[in-house]
Amino acid sequence: MVPPLPPESMKEILEYLNDDMSALYSCVFVNKQWAQVALEILWRDISKFSDQYIFSYSAPKIISTLLSCLPKESKNILRNRGLKIPISTKQPFFNYSGSCRYLDISFINRMIDLIVIPIKSSIKYNNNNNNNNNNNNNNNNNNNNNNNKMGKRSNSGFIDKFTKYLVKQEIYKMFIDQCQTLKRLEYRDKDILLPYFNNSEICLSNLCELHCNTTLLSGTFYQLASICKSLEKLIIEDCSSDNEGLATLIEIQNNLKSLKIITKGISFSKGKFLGVGRSNKNDFNCRYSKIATAISSQSKSLIHFHVGGKLLKAIPPENISSLSNLQSLTITFHDDIENILKLSTFPKLRELKLKLIPQLESVIQFISRTEGYLETIHFEVPCVYPFNQIPLFNQTVAKYCPNLKYLNTWFFNQDVKEFKQLFIACPNLETLSVASYRYDDESYEAHINEFLEILEELEIDLKLKSNLCKIEFYYSWGIDVDVLEAFLWKRKERNQELDKSLQQPLLSFYFHSSFVYRSDVDFADYLELKFNQFKREGLVKDFGIMKYDGFK
């Protein structure tokens, strides 16, 4: 008989199934040892069940398990509210809530809403008078009136809000009491005072990641600040007010590396206030002054910063520019962010991601103040103006970004010189997202053939060994499939003649927007058919047409 694996070895093996909940769940039924290890991984983050299972299927099982594990005192509290909780004298086989490392309050609230609210759910009312309800109509009316007075359910058959609140509170008390080391917490429910529960000082003391919003009371954040001092990642969603408690939580951190803040509020257009109430635009500058000051206090430790939302001036550019050690900057405001780029210098920056592009000149100047570490330049919406700055943009990238791996840029047939400089100066480039544009020739149409000619010339004449493996085409492009196929075959033949270390990587092609081709057939279907053929023949690694996740 083969001896059982040590628990450490088994856990290491089953960790490879972490993203396959179905396979991991099947391990529970092998034997007791397998079950212990598999359940520990499964219950580390139960919100993953929503990714791979139908929510209405998994939620009853999870909540039923949690309710059965509640301590006796909690069960009695819920029974007194009329909920029928399973009675068991046996200890649970496994400490489910104690294995939790990633707790998402919103996910569990949704499960509780689904299971607890409907009367016909698996959690039923314990009404001793129901056996006699059919005696006569008067008894029915009396029983219904009594239930309503107690607040246990309404005439529509729903559990009252207080009972639902108690279910949430008792479940979260159990999590906090039994979980010794919570690593990530998603917490947006102001009615559940997690940091005040017993054992919160132990459970939350090593918290590394917190997702929250400003609906939580300042007092809740103050209590969190007294416990959690080692946050590495903080995500503030729906930041709609200047919360002093949240500001304190930010300031108190010893090792905050990543901060994301999405502002909510009223924006301005063309210098006019859009809304009601105060109309002085200056009143809204630095709307979150306490939070902004707290962010500046973390200037030495923060290396990842994401700011966006609807209220551009909630966090002033001066506070953002103080984060001199940033390696990653993401800005997703819908307004002009030119002032942020003009005032900021981030010499160690490796990643720049913008939702919208301001005047290209400010982007060019911003890049020129970096010190060669940039690896990613990404524009979510690559609409640019003025066009005449594009050659200078490509020159600047070539000069200041030798380590670039991902780039959004634009192509025009008169910019070939600057485009070549990009490839030569950025040998580590892996993904090129290129948009077409027209400058002074309205009849011009960017053509993929022109792009391929440049790439072929660089690979053959200059013997350039490239890491380029993915090309994304934005907007309108012409394409000749026969020319593309010939290019791919010649490229494959050249690779076969070279030593493996010198071979060019297989390319992947993605077409994001409409491409131009005049044909009597449905060209998108035809192109997909041809690329499937290219993939089978080993000419391309992958492809996508119109619907590609990489363009989010």
Do 166 and 246 lie in one domain? The reply is no
Do 378 and 512 lie in one domain? The reply is yes
What pLDDT, on a 0 to 100 scale, did the predictor assign at position 156? 44
For residue 73, tell me if it sits in a domain.
yes
Q: What DSSP string describes 23-57?
A: HHHHGGGT-HHHHHHHHHHHTT-GGGHHHHS-HHH
What pLDDT, on a 0 to 100 scale, did the predictor assign at position 476? 80
Final residue belonging to a domain, choices 295, 312, 346: 346
The structure tokens listed for 367 are 């890049």
Q: What DSSP string describes 114-128?
A: HHHSBTTSSS-B--G
CA 449 to CA 484: how far, in whole Å? 7
Strands 268-269 and 258-263: unpaired
For residue 336, tell me if it sits in a domain.
yes
Do 66 and 192 lie in one domain? The reply is yes
Give me the residues paired with residue 263 across strands: 239, 309
For residue 358, tell me if it sits in a domain.
no
What pLDDT, on a 0 to 100 scale, did the predictor assign at position 254? 96
Do 495 and 373 lie in one domain? The reply is yes
Could you give the maximum distance between any two Cα atoms of the chain, in Å?
97
For residue 275, tell me if it sits in a domain.
no
CA 340 to CA 319: how far, in whole Å? 10
Residues 6+ apart with CB under 8 A from 299: 322, 323, 324, 325
CA 225 to CA 244: how far, in whole Å? 11
For residue 221, tell me if it sits in a domain.
no
CA 446 to CA 477: how far, in whole Å? 5
Residues 6+ apart with CB under 8 A from 384: 357, 360, 390, 410, 435, 437
Do 525 and 404 lie in one domain? The reply is yes
For residue 278, tell me if it sits in a domain.
no
For residue 126, tell me if it sits in a domain.
yes
Question: Which residue reads 């002009």 in tokens?
Answer: 336
What pLDDT, on a 0 to 100 scale, did the predictor assign at position 52? 61
Do 91 and 33 lie in one domain? The reply is no
CATH number at residue 367: 3.80.10
Distances 374 to 4, 370, 395, 401 between C-alpha atoms, Å:
50, 8, 15, 6
Do 263 and 377 lie in one domain? The reply is no
Residue 538 is classified by DSSP as: T
What pLDDT, on a 0 to 100 scale, did the predictor assign at position 460? 85
Do 331 and 384 lie in one domain? The reply is no
Three-state SS for 168-189 is: HHHHHHHHHHHCCCCCEEECCC
What pLDDT, on a 0 to 100 scale, did the predictor assign at position 348? 96
Residue type, 29: F
For residue 105, tell me if it sits in a domain.
yes
Do 327 and 422 lie in one domain? The reply is no
Do 36 and 100 lie in one domain? The reply is no
pLDDT beneath 70: ranges in the chain? 1-3, 51-53, 86-90, 115-159, 265-286, 438-444, 513-521, 546-552
Do 38 and 49 lie in one domain? The reply is no
Distances 120 to 24, 78, 156, 478 between C-alpha atoms, Å:
31, 17, 12, 59
What pLDDT, on a 0 to 100 scale, did the predictor assign at position 89? 56
Domain count, the chain: 4
Residue 327 is part of which domain span?
Answer: 234-267+283-346
Give me the residues paired with residue 212 across strands: 236
Distances 124 to 33, 79, 199, 307 between C-alpha atoms, Å:
34, 10, 31, 46
Final residue belonging to a domain, choices 207, 222, 252: 207
The structure tokens listed for 450 are 């022109």
Global pTM value = 0.83
Do 259 and 196 lie in one domain? The reply is no
Q: Are 174 and 74 in contact (CB under 8 A)?
A: yes
Residue type, 106: S
